[in-house]
Amino acid sequence: PPLDLPKAKVRTAIDVTLKRARENVERRRKDDVLWYGPVHGHMYRDLVRRSARGICELDFPVVAIGSSVQMLVRYMFAANARSIANVREHLPADRPVHLFGAGHPLYMAAAVMLGVDLFDSAFYVLAARDDRYITLSGTLHLDAMTEFPCSCEVCSRTTPAELMKMDRAARTKALATHNLIVTMEELARIREAIRSGTLLELALRRMRSHPRM
pLDDT in tens, 188-199: 999 999 999 999
> Per-residue pLDDT tens for 52-74?
999 999 999 999 997 777 888 78
The arithmetic mean of pLDDT across residues 134-151, rounded, is 94
What average pLDDT does the chain have?
Answer: 92
Convert the pLDDT of each residue in 164-174 to its tens digit: 999 999 999 99
Residue 115: its pLDDT value, please?
94
Please tell me the distance from the alpha carbon of residue 156 to that of residue 34, in angstroms, as a whole number: 39
CA end-to-end span of the chain, whole Å? Answer: 24
Q: Is the pLDDT of residue 43 over 80?
A: no
Query: Does residue 158 have a pLDDT over 90?
Result: yes
57 — phi, psi (to 5°)?
-75, -15
pLDDT of 19 reads 97
User: pTM of the predicted model, to two decimals?
Assistant: 0.89
